[in-house]
Amino acid sequence: MTPRICALVLGASAGLAIAQNQTSIFSPVTNWNGAYTLSVQQYDMGTASVPTLQSFASASYGDEWVVLAGRTNGLHGFTNSGTVNFPPASQNTEIWVVDPVTKQTWSKSLSSSGLSDSIISSLSATATQSFTQGSTLFVSGGYVYDSTANNFTTYNTLTAIDVADVVSWVKGETSSLAANSVLQTTGGTSSNGSYTGGFFAVTGGEMYQTGSTVQLVFGQDFEGPYTPGSNGTYTSQVRSFTIDYNKENGTLGYTETQVSPGPGDPTQFRRRDLNVAPSLSKNPEGGAPVAGLIAYSGVFYNGEGVWTVPVEIGADGVPVMADPSNPATFKQAMSNYDAAKLGLYSNATGEFTEFFFGGITANTYNPTTGTLTYDAEFPFTSQISAITRDENGNYAQYYAGGLPQILDSEGKVILFGAEAKFFPVLGLPTYDNGVIDLDALTDGTLLGYIYGGIAADAPNNGKTAASNEVFAVYYTAVPEPSALALLALGLPLVWLLRHSRQAVR
């Protein structure tokens, strides 16, 4: 482990970073001052047996969550043994259904699914990429110990899972998986050198659909056991494709549409285990907002540091990064590793906001002094940050509070969020790409739940475990100062509620 290096960074101005990172400075961070806040509360699941999982794949089905793959232990080890660092026994071989409303859970082992050993291994992998289209969960890649090959590998597969069928099977409503409930295809290889390895042999990236095209963003192909000093082959690119899926006929295929850049650009896009999320921006021609993706920060720059400049990816699948040497370019200071997150967009103002809940960070923020503390070990954190992009494309980052303080048996504060996921509630007003419609929210709205991830008892060098904690996330409107003054004068509360601002409009 590298020596711990700390430096104070003033929030009022761009601050000094360490040379190992993409840029030598971070953009300033200030306290959140929006017209709304997000509050996070520990959620009681009663007597339900909630699994401890991190780095998993998931889908929503009504009020329920379907959770599979990932790991049941904490942060991987750093020994000279791959099976110690990623114990095969900690691979999640169960499919879980979780209902936070009725506070019930169900599970079934993949070994009783009737699926082949190879498919079971692929659905037990960690750090897969996944997205949901209708009632189908698509899962690609992931890193796993494959017992059939007696080695660790990144799977080169795309799997289609019928969520309704899986829920029925897991809950015991059907005795076996229905025909074609799980279909799988293998990725091809490049005929022109635009990418290396298999098309879907990616772990630690992200996969989303924009329009009719699916984009497999960044990540790496890691083969063999993980030990200190070993590296995978980073894709350093976005792989775009369309899916040809017909459950009734039992067919699953895909068509490559673009690989950008080919054969990859490690000077800009050598990133993995990062936050990638759908975004929206103002349509200059009017009409519906423009959908895209934003890839935030990520690791590891030059094999050591964090990336600081976000990457925007349009529907064409071309990643674009602003010039890091430009003083005006935004340089991300916090939330540098994959964590639970949610995005909101106001079509009235054209502002898009992404909230990041805990995780791993290069800097922690002191809301009282307005200072950042840099830590070259990239510690675990429970702090919440928000990154906004206004209608003109200008970015800013804010400190937006923290996850609830939960103590372990030794009285240590547990840090949550890394490799966790956010599950929106059924009926939440969203755009087609899942971004929440900020203009449609009302005060006190339950947005959804945060579940799973890595729990750590210290920022660095502490004990870690997979988490089964659930948190509820609420939207709260902040009244305008004038409304608060009227309330102080004793005007009726109903008048205040009718005239206070509930969202950025």
pLDDT digits (tens, 9 = 90+) for 43-102: 999 999 999 999 999 999 999 999 999 999 999 989 999 999 999 999 999 999 999 999
Euclidean distance between CA atoms 300 and 288, whole angstroms:
36
pLDDT at 144 over 60: yes
> CB-based contacts of 191: which residues, under 8 Å, 6+ apart?
none
pLDDT at 227 over 50: yes
pLDDT attached to residue 162:
99
Q: pLDDT confidence of 148, banded at 50, 70, 90?
A: confident
Q: pLDDT confidence of 18, banded at 50, 70, 90?
A: low
Euclidean distance between CA atoms 165 and 167, whole angstroms:
6
Residues forming beta bridges with residue 41, ordered by sequence position: 472
- Amino acid occupying residue 57: A
- CA 247 to chain centroid: 28
Is the distance from CB of 371 to CB of 10 less than 8 angstroms?
A: yes
Domains of the chain with bracketed CATH: 6-499 (2.120.10.80)
pLDDT attached to residue 457:
98
Q: In terms of pLDDT, which residue wins out, 12 or 121? A: 121
pLDDT at 121 over 80: yes
Q: pLDDT confidence of 2, banded at 50, 70, 90?
A: very low
Euclidean distance between CA atoms 126 and 54, whole angstroms:
8
Q: pLDDT confidence of 483, banded at 50, 70, 90?
A: low
pLDDT attached to residue 355:
99
pLDDT attached to residue 19:
58
Share of the chain above pLDDT 90, in %: 88
pLDDT at 36 over 80: yes
Average confidence (pLDDT) over 206-219: 98
pLDDT at 12 over 80: no
Share of the chain above pLDDT 70, in %: 91
Report residue 343 as tokens. Answer: 């995005």
Average confidence (pLDDT) over 16-41: 91
Euclidean distance between CA atoms 373 and 17, whole angstroms:
10
Residues in the chain: 505
pLDDT digits (tens, 9 = 90+) for 177-210: 999 999 999 999 999 999 999 999 999 999 999 9
pLDDT at 171 over 50: yes
Q: In terms of pLDDT, which residue wins out, 466 or 502? A: 466
pLDDT attached to residue 13:
39
Spatial CA neighbour of 313 closest among 347, 289, 279: 279
pLDDT at 434 over 90: yes
pLDDT attached to residue 498:
37
Euclidean distance between CA atoms 17 and 182, whole angstroms:
47
pLDDT at 495 over 60: no
Is the distance from CB of 347 to CB of 427 less than 8 angstroms?
A: no
C-beta atoms surrounding 322 within 10 Å: 16
Spatial CA neighbour of 342 closest among 479, 446, 216, 269: 446
Burial 126-153 (b: 16+ CB within 10 A, else e): bbbbbbbeeebbbbbbbbbbbeeeeebb
For residue 100, give the 3-state DSSP assignment. Answer: coil
Mean pLDDT of the chain: 93
Determine which helix (DSSP H) or strand (DSSP E) holds 266, and give its type and residue range.
helix 266-269
pLDDT attached to residue 482:
56
Report residue 398 as tokens. Answer: 């804010």
pLDDT digits (tens, 9 = 90+) for 389-428: 999 999 999 999 999 999 999 999 999 999 999 999 999 9
pLDDT attached to residue 7:
38
Report residue 260 as tokens. Answer: 């950008």
- Amino acid occupying residue 183: L
Upper half-sphere CA count for residue 5 (Cβ side, 13 Å): 13
> CB-based contacts of 444: which residues, under 8 Å, 6+ apart?
474, 475, 476
Euclidean distance between CA atoms 477 and 38, whole angstroms:
9
Is the distance from CB of 373 to CB of 8 less than 8 angstroms?
A: yes
